[in-house]
A and B are shown apart, each in its own frame.
Chain A
Amino acid sequence: MIDNGGGAADGMVAARVLRAARTLRDTPVAPSDAWRREVLEVIERGTSGAPASTSAATPARPWWSMHPVLAVAAGLFCMLIGAAAALGVRPAADSGGAAASAADGAPVNVRFTFTAPAATNVVLVGDFNGWSASTHQLRRAADGRTWEVQVPLMPGRYAYSFVVDGAFVLDPAAPRAADDDFGSPNSIVMVRGT
């Protein structure tokens, strides 16, 4: 690439400068987790005093809470380890890791919503409920236009679909799966562990 010479009046910019600008564009200045937390804390402090909302718009449960069933299970598990230790037996080497994964494996509450003011029945079907049309019925939200349901999901990837008055409908804003073995494609939800 030939440099342009300084400051051509017709506005051409030296290629090297543009290439240099591109390196800046391509170099991320990624926000650190600590910085991110701090920003959100400052904002929270500024707006504190408001009680936790029970409206449908807020996430149902803080990410650090455990599903009640797993909490009980984890408790029992700890008791067993404790009992084993009390008997003077060292638990198997992998139990420490297993205990960690019990906590790591807490399900995440995922809210599925669908806008269909004219529908009379909306159901969620997917990998997580064995594609059963009777497990996750969506309820109409207060605005009368959106339907929603909360599903606790373990981290992973799940295919799903809405059934709106009997018809399979994709979630328009979610990633699609190309799998169309059965004539109607599915949406994908990815749940990440905490």
Chain B
Amino acid sequence: MTRMSCRAIVVLTLGWLGTASAFAQGNAQSASALSARLSPATRAQLERLVDSARASGLPAEPLVARAAEGVLKGADEARIVGAVRSLARELAAARAVLPAGASAATLAAGAGALRAGVSRETLRRLSVASIGAAEGDLALALVTVADMAANQVPPTRAGEAVEQLLQRRAPASEIMAFRETVARDILAGVSPVDALDARSRTILGRPAAGATIPPIP
């Protein structure tokens, strides 16, 4: 066996492994859904968009998924194409500012943050704060800031708070708990800015007035 064909075996096997992934399974379904429901013209446009994104090194799955989402939600075809185009732009913009070699998940999280109104500067600062942090921490930070921005917390302020958590190497659970409590407070009627401020310092619970402490075990 030549070295060349040995490498071919590796590639083929990896390819097969790849299709075992849930996301790729989703893609296979997306592809058939798209073929069935979209006009040939739209299909061609989408293929061009996805191919050119792939050619510039951007992940294709989020784009295909966005189109499939549009189909399910009954959007008209022009809107679907527009949405995929916007996402491709946002992925590229995220890649320009996030660390080289960022995973597809991190790029997608970055694109989501940009869409939510988070500035590139904030993305850059979060990237810097995540240097040396665990895999996935930056993506989590981006998802967190995007969520807060979607809840009307001023994006820069949200970014600063999450940046501090990253710098302190807060565990993922703490970042997630921080997001949850801010979101819950906003839902309870606290203004987004106040909710962020109150939770930035601590995530303590408070007892009800007049509560007694049970016997110490």
Contacts and interface: CB of A to CB of B under 8 A. Distances in A.
B217 to A, nearest CB: 14
Interface residues of A, number: 61
Contacts of B65: 127, 130-131, 159
B44 interface: no
A175 B139 CA distance: 12
A156 to B, nearest CB: 4
B69 A131 contact: yes
Contacts of B14: 98
B179 A175 contact: yes
Contacts of B16: 73
Given A127-B61, A130-B33, A190-B143, A181 B23 contact: no
Contact of A92 (B10, B33, B135): B10
Contacts of A77: 13, 17
A76 B139 CA distance: 33
A70 B17 contact: yes
A20 interface: no
A132 interface: yes
A183 B75 CA distance: 9
B1 interface: yes
Interface in B52-75: 61-62, 64-66, 68-73, 75
B13 A73 contact: yes
Given A73-B13, A168-B73, A157 B139 contact: yes
Interface residues of B, number: 70
A69 interface: yes
Contacts of A193: 135-136
A155 B20 contact: no
Contacts, number: 176
A156 B104 contact: yes
Contacts of B10: 80, 91-92, 94-95, 98
A188 interface: yes
A182 B83 contact: yes
A28 interface: yes
Interface string B98-123: 00000111101100100111000000
Interface string A93-133: 01100100010010100000000000000000111111111
A31 B60 CA distance: 38
A184 B105 contact: no
Interface string A31-71: 10000000000000000000000000000000000010110
Interface in A68-94: 69-70, 73-74, 76-77, 80, 84, 87, 89-92, 94
Closest 5 CB pairs of A and B: A130-B29, A178-B116, A130-B30, A175-B147, A181-B83
Interface in B3-27: 3, 6-7, 9-10, 13-14, 16-17, 20-23, 25-27
A176 interface: yes
B92 interface: no
Contact of B1 (A67, A87, A175): A87
Given A154-B22, A159-B65, A190 B75 contact: no
B67 to A, nearest CB: 9
B155 to A, nearest CB: 10
Contacts of B89: none
Nearest to B113: A178
A110 to B, nearest CB: 10
A156 B17 CA distance: 17
Among A87, A154, A182, max chain B CB count under 10 A is at A182
